[in-house]
């Protein structure tokens, strides 16, 4: 079997992790696993973890580490035969250490985006809750205002993108992320991208992954998508 490829994308809320992950998934055939989407699925399904997580997310707080790792690690175990890109997990050093003991990462992409840009983007972010599709009223608006392009269902704003929760989230992110970034830098797998525009970052991410993803894996994925 060809070697599997494991990547993590780090960055504050609104940094474009979801947007870049979707591009990676469609260009390189990696499975995109978003902790935020997985939490929202669990909230919608009213699982034990979902009910617990909801109380934290509504306050703009992080979900406790033990809840996150108990949720995410079994999900990754289901994916042992796939190459994946993990988005939104790990977010803390404890989560990064738990992930470390479960698998070995090939690449960590870290998005470094100015605070003002983040605030502006998140104010305009709308999502389709059933699919997790993300829109931005300026950057990638839906074809019809307020409505999902594919299902025609209404778009909503995350509770945690509303101004009250937003500032707390961005402030907290920085403190918590620093040791995670330091850990991956020390391991020599960190790749940092700084810009205000996803479209300017994407070509660099794309060429990094083209260089890192094993050729036999890329060939196998191309074969399945044609």
CB nearer to ligand ADP: give 128 or 213: 128
Give me the least distance between CB of 189 and ligand GDP, in Å please. 20
Give me the least distance between CB of 151 and ligand GDP, in Å please. 18
- Bridge-based pairing of strands 31-34 and 84-87 is parallel
Residue among 60, 170, 164 nearest 118 (CA): 170
Give me the least distance between CB of 216 and ligand ADP, in Å please. 31
- Would you say 62 is a known binding-site residue? yes
Is the C-alpha dihedral spanning 78, 31, 134, 143 positive or negative? negative
Q: Does 209 bind ligand ADP (CB under 6 A)?
A: no
- Would you say 28 is a known binding-site residue? no
Which residue in the set 30, 33, 39, 190 belongs to the binding site for ligand ADP (CB under 6 A)?
39
Q: Which does 140 bind (CB under 5 to 8 A by kind): ligand GDP, ligand ADP, none?
A: ligand GDP
Q: What is the DSSP string of 177-223?
A: HHHHHHHHHHHT-EEEEE-S-HHHHHHHHHHHHHHHS-HHHHHHHHH
Residues 11-30 within binding reach of ligand ADP (CB under 6 A):
13, 17
Give me the least distance between CB of 156 and ligand ADP, in Å please. 13
- Would you say 89 is a known binding-site residue? yes
Burial 101-136 (b: 16+ CB within 10 A, else e): eeeebbbbbbbebeeeebeebbbebbbbbeebbbbb
For residue 106, the Cα-to-chain-centroid distance in whole angstroms is 16
CB nearer to ligand GDP: give 14 or 29: 14
Q: Does 63 bind ligand ADP (CB under 6 A)?
A: yes
Detail the residues annotated as belonging to a binding site for a ribonucleoside 5'-triphosphate. Answer: 14-19, 125, 134-135, 198
């Amino acid at each position: 079997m060809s070697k599997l490829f494991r990547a993590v994308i780090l960055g504050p809320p609104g940094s474009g992790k979801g947007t870049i992950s979707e591009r990676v998934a469609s260009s390189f055939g990696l499975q995109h696993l978003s902790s935020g989407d997985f939490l929202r699925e669990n909230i919608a399904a009213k699982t034990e973890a979902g009910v617990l997580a909801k109380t934290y997310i509504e306050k703009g707080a992080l979900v406790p580490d033990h809840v996150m790792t108990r949720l995410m690690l079994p999900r990754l175990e289901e994916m042992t035969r796939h190459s994946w890109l993990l988005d939104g997990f790990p977010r803390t050093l404890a989560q990064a250490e738990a992930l470390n003991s479960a698998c070995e990462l090939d690449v960590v992409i870290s998005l470094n985006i100015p605070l003002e840009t983040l605030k502006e983007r998140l104010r305009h972010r709308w999502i389709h809750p059933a699919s997790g599709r993300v829109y931005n009223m300026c950057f990638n608006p839906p074809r019809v205002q307020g409505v999902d392009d594919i299902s025609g269902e209404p778009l909503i704003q995350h509770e945690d993108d509303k101004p009250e929760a937003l500032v707390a989230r961005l402030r907290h992110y920085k403190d918590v992320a620093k040791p995670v970034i330091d850990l991956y830098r020390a391991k020599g797998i960190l790749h940092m991208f700084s810009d205000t525009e996803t479209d300017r970052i994407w070509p660099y991410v794309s060429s990094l992954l083209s260089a890192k993803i094993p050729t036999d894996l890329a060939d196998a994925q191309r074969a399945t998508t044609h």
